């Protein structure tokens, strides 16, 4: 079956979101940074403050609310980079950091939002300051991937103190085509993603794929779990076919301020997934050729009561964090087997 043509790329497409961009943020200050632990070791996650994502259509995403409505030039980005490497928290951990994930809440490889000068300056600072760096992960939409540019990035990374692999981090969001493109409006077709996987694997690059569990209103908990199960099987198949190193980054969906999910949440048509169901979804990857990282932060962007993080669930969050560090699927098995969480509002079937 032939896939429909992809929508024309335009920043002028009408939006149904009602958040505002962050105009008050200094152009010389990065947006955010934090640390994570996974089976790959200590991770630094960096978010730069740049022009907002030029796609900007995804139904439940309000990340551009933390971005600029205007272009941020390379000089300001260089100062943001200096600020990251001057951060006391980063300086303290510089010997421990094994992976860096680089984001601008959009596409780092889009030169219109993130300068190439700044990107290669960042690579130089990474080589100088993180002697044990093993992986650099760059968030991007596939249309901005230029293999010649990736070769240059990989060559620069190879000049560091330790062998460092390049990882492309792509938002896939949902496996079902109708959910992903017709409802969520991601604008990503599988054929484009599969080309990316094949090209990346030939150069030895890794793939990180972001998925959202229960990303739209009208999806039941079981349907949301089934969509992630299908995604796991799809990524595992690609990993084997292309001999690619693959990671699924599974994010439970929250009701983000200023989006249609906030409206649906306030109407009672959307409830975030239970963490026990997130464990049930991720458990399907046991024994398959991909790793899974479960996102456990709403980054403070959820409306009141609209987060998947509920009071009293700290022990469950701690178990999922341990899973992220160890990839021990017995932890997920125990969570699923011991589910005693009261569930109300089963949701309705999505009309795709």
Residues 153 and 138: their CA atoms lie apart, in Å, by 11
pLDDT at 351 over 90: no
In the prediction, which pLDDT does 14 show?
A: 42
pLDDT value, residue 66: 94
CATH at residue 40: 3.20.20.70
305: in domain: yes
Q: How far apart are CA 1 and CA 7, in angstroms?
A: 18
Q: Given pLDDT bands bounded at 50, 70 and 90, which one contains residue 340? A: very low
Q: How many domains does the chain have?
A: 1
Question: Would 9 be classed as within a structural domain?
Answer: no
Tell me whether residue 295 is in a domain: yes
Q: Is residue 12 part of a domain?
A: no
Q: What is the mean pLDDT of residues 198-203?
A: 95
Percent of the chain whose pLDDT exceeds 90 = 90
| Mean predicted lDDT score pLDDT of the chain | 92
**At residue 3, does pLDDT exceed 70?**
no
Q: Compute the distance between CA of residue 35 and CA of residue 240 in angstroms, rounded to an integer.
A: 31
In terms of phi and psi (left: phi > 0; alpha: psi -120 to 50; beta: otherwise), the region of 243 is left
Let me know if residue 347 belongs to a domain: no
Q: What is the pLDDT of residues 273-311, one digit of tens each?
A: 999 999 999 999 999 999 999 999 998 999 999 999 999
Using a cut of 0.75, tell me whether the model's pTM lies above it. Answer: yes
pLDDT-wise least confident of 73-77, 103-107, 338-342: 338-342
Q: How far apart are CA 102 and CA 40, in angstroms?
A: 16
Asked if residue 107 is part of any domain, the answer here is yes
238 phi, psi to nearest 5 deg: -65, -40
Residue 221: its pLDDT value, please?
Answer: 98
Determine, yes or no, domain membership for 91: yes
User: For residue 17, what pLDDT band results from cuts at 50, 70 and 90?
Assistant: confident
Range of the domain at 116: 32-337
Percentage of the chain modeled with pLDDT above 70 = 91
CA distances from 217 to 2, 58, 228, 269, 352 (A): 27, 13, 16, 6, 11
């Amino acid at each position: 079956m032939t896939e429909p043509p992809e929508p024309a790329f335009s920043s002028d497409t009408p939006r149904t979101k009602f958040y505002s961009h962050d105009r008050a943020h200094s152009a010389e200050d990065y947006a955010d940074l934090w640390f994570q632990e996974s089976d790959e070791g200590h991770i630094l996650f960096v978010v730069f403050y740049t022009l907002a994502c030029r796609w900007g259509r995804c139904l439940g995403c309000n990340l551009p609310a933390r971005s600029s409505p205007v272009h941020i030039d390379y000089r300001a980005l260089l100062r943001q980079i200096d600020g990251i490497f001057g951060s006391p928290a980063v300086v303290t951990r510089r010997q421990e950091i094994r992976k860096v994930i680089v984001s601008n809440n959009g596409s780092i490889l889009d030169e219109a939002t993130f300068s190439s000068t700044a990107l290669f300056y960042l690579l130089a600072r990474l080589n100088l300051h993180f002697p044990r760096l093993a992986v650099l992960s760059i968030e991007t939409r596939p249309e901005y991937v230029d293999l010649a540019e990736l070769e240059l990035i990989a060559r620069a990374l190879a000049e560091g103190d330790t062998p460092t692999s390049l990882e492309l981090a792509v938002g896939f969001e949902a496996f079902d085509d109708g959910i992903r493109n017709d409802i969520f409006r991601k604008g990503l077709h599988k054929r484009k993603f599969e080309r990316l996987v094949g090209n990346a694997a030939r150069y030895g690059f890794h793939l990180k794929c972001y998925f959202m569990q229960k990303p739209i209103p009208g999806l039941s908990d079981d349907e949301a779990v089934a969509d992630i199960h299908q995604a796991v099987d799809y990524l595992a198949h690609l990993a084997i076919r292309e001999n690619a190193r693959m990671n699924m980054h599974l994010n439970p969906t929250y009701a983000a301020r200023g989006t249609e999910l906030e409206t649906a949440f306030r109407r009672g048509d959307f409830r975030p997934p239970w963490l026990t169901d997130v464990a049930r979804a991720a458990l399907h990857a046991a024994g398959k050729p991909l790793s899974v990282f479960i996102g456990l932060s709403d980054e403070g962007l959820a409306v009141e009561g609209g987060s998947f993080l509920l009071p009293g669930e700290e022990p469950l969050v701690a178990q999922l964090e341990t899973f992220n560090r160890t990839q021990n699927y017995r932890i997920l098995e125990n969570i699923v087997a011991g589910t005693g969480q009261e569930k109300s509002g089963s949701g309705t079937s999505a009309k795709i």
